[in-house]
Amino acid sequence: MKFIDEYRDAAKARQAGQELARHVTRPWTIMEVCGGQTHAIVKFGIDELLPPQLTLIHGPGCPVCVTPLELIDKALELAARPEVIFCSFGDMLRVPGSHRDLLSVKAAGGDVRVLYSPLDALKIAAQNPAREAVFFAVGFETTAPTMAMAVCQAARLGLKNFSLLVSHVLVPPAMEALLSAPGCQVQAFLAAGHVCAVMGYEEYLPIAAKYHVPIVVTGFEPLDILQGLLMCVRQLESGRAEVENQYSRAVRREGNLPAQQTLREVFRVVPRKWRGVGEIPRSGLGLAEAFRAFDAELKFGLAANSVSEPAECQSGLVLQGRIKPAQCPAFGTRCTPEHPLGATMVSSEGACAAYYRYRREPAATQSS
């Protein structure tokens, strides 16, 4: 497959691993922010090609994982209402709320639909004027522009039965929160390439300078990740802390300006609670005043609820890179993809799911 296979070349990947080994002179700890990168690392076994001095820790960049439990419960409440057609990306269906998940609500008669784009939810709203189409708007800066576009179109079409349950989060504030936490071990970041394709990377310049940490905008294929790591290591070894762009085939410095413009029109920056991490100021997007009519929380009068996570779930520590999934006592025993305690075990970008799927009993995988 063109533009994919070139970046999965086995010989080049091994060369890149050797190149890294040549440049590394002491231990370094690098965090890949995005869950998509975490899965690529574990799925392809990229970490097995790295020199032992290099430690990767997995970041909070899984939109499904950081969506707060309260909001999942609100989604479940909405999806169970007879008048609601609850639309969502597929990932969210198995994420556990306090008592159940969207798949269970669907089995109990809720109208839950898996869509690829919120624009499809507009069609559903137009075709079902007597019902309410609600889209579960989760994700980082990557998915936010399509949500914004859907809201603009709904406004233009005068659709009154379309709304968003918004849980959008922003990456740079989370990176700052991690860096300013006591005991932070992260010495460099692979920044999430697709987030930067939308937002550009200028907003990372002050972070790199303030915390003296290299940030390399990186893609998602094995060679992208290896090259991103090499760029981080070169900076670390030479004492530099700059923002560099490995993913230049998709990311420009200024990003996608029309997408950013639409985001600014439709959303405003709000404080947001991250599941497992806590509230981070100015780290989320909420609908702007002019588009309040499309806010499902207001429209359906969903009361603020207060819930607590299963005490045993350590996904917060996993999301902050403080422990690896297998270090959680519940991993693979009381917490599995079929019976998850936290979202990190369910989502296609969750670190626990990646380790469960590809790495149980790593010793057994070494033999051949």
Partner 1 sequence: MSDPAPFEPACPFPIENYPQVLLAHGGGGRLMHQLIQRMIVPAFKNPWLEQQHDASIFELGGQRLAFTTDSYVVRPMFFPGGDLGSLAVHGTVNDLAMAGARPLYLSAGLIIEEGVAMESLWRILASMQRAATAAGVQIITGDTKVVDRGKGDGIFINTAGIGVVEQTVSIAPASIKPGDAVLVSGDLGRHGMAIMAVREGLEFESSIESDSAPLAGPVRALLDAGVEVHCLRDITRGGLTSVLNELAEASGFPIHVEEARMPVREDVRVACEILGFDPLQVACEGRMVGFVPEPEVERALKIWSGIEVTAGAVRIGEVGQGGAPRVILKSTIGAQRILDMGSGEQLPRIC
165 lies in the binding site for partner 1 (CB under 8 A): no
For the segment 56-115, give every residue that binds partner 1 (CB under 8 A): 63-64, 89-91, 93-94, 103-104, 106-108, 114
Q: Which stretch binds partner 1 (CB under 8 A): 206-214, 250-258, 274-282, 358-366?
A: 358-366
> Can residue 143 be called a binding residue for partner 1 (CB under 8 A)?
yes
CB of 301 to partner 1, least distance (A): 27
Closest to partner 1 by CB, 21 vs 155, is 21
Q: Cβ closer to partner 1: 16 or 236?
A: 16
Among 20, 24, 31, 46, binds partner 1 (CB under 8 A): 46
The residue (of 289 and 361) whose beta carbon lies closer to partner 1 is 361
In terms of CB distance, is 105 or 208 closer to partner 1?
Answer: 105
Separation between Cα atoms, residue 45 and residue 41, nearest integer Å: 6
Query: Which residue among 79, 87, 349, 351 contacts partner 1 (CB under 8 A)?
Result: 349
Structure tokens at 169: 């989060």
CB of 162 to partner 1, least distance (A): 20
Give the one residue of 23, 98, 153, 358 binding partner 1; rule: CB under 8 A: 358
Look up tokens 């299963």; give the residue: 310
How many residues sit in the footprint of partner 1 (CB under 8 A)?
A: 53
Q: Which is nearer to partner 1, 138 or 352 (CB)?
A: 138
Q: Which is nearer to partner 1, 162 or 356 (CB)?
A: 356
**In angstroms, what is the minimal distance from the CB of 358 to partner 1?**
4
Tell me if 116 contacts partner 1 by CB under 8 A: yes
How far is residue 333's CA from residue 356's CA, in Å, rounded to a whole number?
10
Q: Is 26 one of the binding residues for partner 1 (CB under 8 A)?
A: no
Is residue 181 within the footprint of partner 1 (CB under 8 A)?
no
Show the 3-state SS of the chain.
CCCCHHHHCHHHHHHHHHHHHHHCCCCEEEEEEEHHHHHHHHHHCHHHHCCCCEEEEEEEECHHHHCCHHHHHHHHHHHCCCCEEEEECHHHHHCCCCCCCHHHHHHCCCEEEECCCHHHHHHHHHHCCCCEEEEEEEECCCCHHHHHHHHHHHHHHCCCCEEEEEEEECHHHHHHHHHHCCCCCCCEEEEEHHHHHHHCCHHHHHHHHHHCCCEEEECCCHHHHHHHHHHHHHHHHHCCCCEEECCCCCCCCCCCHHHHHHHHHHEEEEEEEECCCEEEEEEEEEECHHHHHHEHHHHCCCCCCCCCCCCCCCHHHHHCCCCCHHHCCCECCCEECCECCCHHHCCCCCHHHHHHHHHCCHHHHHCC
Contact in structure between 190 and 33 (CB atoms under 8 Å): yes
21 binds partner 1 (CB under 8 A): no
Candidate segments 137-145, 149-157, 227-235, 293-301, binder of partner 1 by CB under 8 A: 137-145
Burial (CB count <10 Å: 0-12, 13-18, 19+), residue 117:
middle
Minimum distance, C-beta of residue 160 to partner 1, in the bound complex (Å): 27
Comparing CB distances to partner 1, the nearer of 146 and 235 is: 146
36 contributes a contact to partner 1 by CB under 8 A: yes
Q: Residues 222-251: x/- map of binding to partner 1 (CB under 8 A)?
A: x-----------------------------
Please, which residues have CB within 8 angstroms of residue 109's CB and are 6 or more apart in sequence? Answer: none
- Residues 81 and 304: their CA atoms lie apart, in Å, by 18
Choices 36-44, 123-131, 208-216, 237-245 (CB under 8 A): range interacting with partner 1: 36-44
> Which residues contribute to the site for partner 1 (CB under 8 A)?
1, 4, 8-10, 13-14, 36, 42-46, 48-49, 63-64, 89-91, 93-94, 103-104, 106-108, 114, 116, 138-140, 142-143, 194, 222, 337-339, 347-349, 356-361, 364-368
